[in-house]
């Protein structure tokens, strides 16, 4: 057993040296004492692969101090070593020591091998994982993130941007408080970096992460709608084309529930004109619609349809636009738009219900007063729409308005006969009687 243990590194070393001969030698920068370095590498990786972490420490530290430019693998494997030690250590002080060594490894790796974007993301996420539940470490955690941010938020991935805003919140709650303006400055940078990272494929993900970032800001500083209008709205109105000021008004208004501020709608339109997004177009349309700004609402509803990234989003906005047209008594536009919503998303059954409502509300305007059968055929058209919508309750109600057998007989119509509903509806329906059950 002892003999096997003693021979294992030698066998591993043989295979290691063989693999080296197959690699470009420029990939590895061995120190002057190459033999000893290769032996330590084998001892280190052999112990690491066997999860004998304590045995791996000495050869690893020798390599790190003697050959820091050896290869990126030294740092990748070193990270595994210290994370293994962290997981297998119960003593808090020792665990913290290993955590600090992980963070230091990232710095040394970037010093010798660059790869700043990938390594920096790993570093700050590790720090967030280690320190976010330790209030006494919030100051250190903040500085780790802030120093990384100073090097460029472009290095942060989207999850790290959210974590950075959370770290600011934690630091503000437990560490030395930052001035409000510095918090807002960092918030602006995070928001801009998030927008800059957005591609066509992850627009929805951006919107969700922005919501979280806004909520974290609201949990970090105390603002209300009058303060937002005073401190941020008025400066924007003095420079109403300033995109940065407009974005801040929009973001703060959303974070603090101040969509009703008149300045929000103005700022939102500036942002949308310069950096159009589906979500903001839809929001402007809804707010404008609620404020009876018909032309503005329709403009941004159409813009949202154009900016939608998939048919479900399109159907969502088209249905809202159809409801808007219904409310404006533009019935043909409402029906056309509702049908487009169904075409975009066949599961959008409420659009059929809306068309049924349009027919039903048209009875007084469309009845000719000459033939009850023809007039009441409109209810059959409404019934068919409610049937497509799956609304049996409304089907039963509207059936009571079908023409009666007597009315059809007196006017020379027969059950099952097809007639056209006139007025704006222009639909063919098959005559039925309210005397029949569905």
Q: Tell me: the pLDDT tens digits for 37-89? A: 888 888 888 888 888 888 888 988 888 888 888 888 888 888 888 888 888 88
Q: What is the pTM of this model?
A: 0.64
Could you tell me what percentage of the chain is helix, strand and coil, using 3-state DSSP and rounding each to the nearest 5? 75, 0, 25
In the block, tokens 């070193």 appear at 78
Q: Which CATH superfamily is domain 276-348 in?
A: Tetratricopeptide repeat domain (1.25.40.10)
CA dist., res. 55 & res. 138, Å (int): 33
φ/ψ of residue 258, rounded to 5: -115, 40
pLDDT > 90 in the chain, percent? 39
CA dist., res. 298 & res. 126, Å (int): 48
Residue extents of the structural domains in the chain: 276-348, 366-430
**Residue 27's pLDDT band (boundaries 50, 70, 90)?**
confident
In terms of Cα–Cα distance, which of 341, 267, 270, 255 is closest to 301?
A: 341
β-pair type (427-430, 418-421): antiparallel
φ/ψ of residue 10, rounded to 5: -65, -45
**Residue 265's pLDDT band (boundaries 50, 70, 90)?**
very high
* Distance between start and end Cα atoms, the chain: 86
CA dist., res. 432 & res. 416, Å (int): 6
Helices (H), 328-432: 331-344, 350-360, 363-366, 372-389, 392-399, 405-410
Continuous segment of H or E residues that includes residue 309: none
What is the tens place of the pLDDT at every residue in 89-123?
888 888 888 888 888 898 888 888 887 777 888 88
């Amino acid at each position: 057993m002892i003999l096997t243990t003693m021979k294992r590194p030698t066998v591993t070393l043989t295979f290691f040296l063989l693999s080296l001969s197959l690699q470009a030698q420029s990939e590895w920068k061995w120190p002057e004492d190459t033999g000893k370095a290769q032996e330590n590498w084998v001892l280190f990786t052999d112990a690491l692969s066997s999860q004998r972490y304590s045995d791996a420490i000495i050869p690893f530290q020798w390599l790190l101090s003697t050959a820091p430019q050896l290869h990126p693998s030294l740092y990748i494997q070193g990270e595994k070593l210290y994370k293994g030690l962290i997981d297998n250590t119960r003593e808090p002080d020792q665990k913290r020591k290993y955590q600090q060594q992980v963070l230091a490894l990232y710095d040394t790796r970037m010093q010798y091998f660059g790869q700043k974007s990938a390594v920096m993301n790993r570093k700050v996420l590790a720090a967030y994982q280690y320190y976010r539940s330790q209030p006494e470490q919030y100051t250190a955690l903040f500085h780790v993130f802030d120093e990384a941010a100073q090097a460029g938020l472009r290095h942060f991935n989207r999850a790290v941007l959210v974590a950075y805003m959370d770290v600011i919140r934690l630091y503000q709650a437990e560490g030395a408080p930052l001035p409000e303006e510095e918090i807002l400055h960092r918030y602006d940078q995070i928001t801009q970096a998030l927008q800059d990272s957005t591609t066509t494929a992850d627009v929805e993900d951006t919107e969700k992460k922005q919501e979280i970032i806004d909520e974290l800001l609201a949990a970090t500083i105390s603002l209300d709608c009058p303060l937002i209008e005073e401190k941020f709205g008025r400066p924007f109105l003095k420079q109403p084309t300033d995109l940065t000021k407009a974005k801040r008004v929009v973001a703060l208004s959303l974070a603090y529930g101040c969509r009703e501020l008149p300045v929000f709608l103005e700022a939102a339109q500036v942002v949308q004109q310069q950096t159009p997004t589906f979500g903001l177009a839809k929001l402007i349309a809804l707010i404008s619609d609620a404020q009876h700004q018909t032309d503005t609402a329709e403009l941004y509803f159409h813009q949202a349809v154009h900016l939608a990234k998939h048919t479900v989003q399109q159907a969502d906005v088209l249905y809202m636009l159809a409801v808007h047209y219904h409310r404006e008594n533009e019935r043909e536009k409402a029906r056309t738009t509702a049908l487009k919503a169904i075409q975009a998303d066949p599961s959008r059954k409420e659009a059929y219900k809306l068309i049924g409502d349009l027919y039903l509300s048209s009875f007084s305007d469309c009845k000719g007063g000459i033939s009850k059968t023809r007039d009441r055929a409109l209810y059959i058209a409404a019934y068919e729409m409610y049937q497509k919508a799956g609304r049996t309750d409304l089907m039963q109600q509207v059936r009571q308005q079908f023409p009666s057998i007597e009315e059809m007989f007196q006017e020379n119509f027969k059950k099952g006969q097809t007639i056209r509903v006139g007025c704006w509806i222009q639909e063919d329906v098959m005559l039925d009687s309210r005397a029949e059950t569905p």
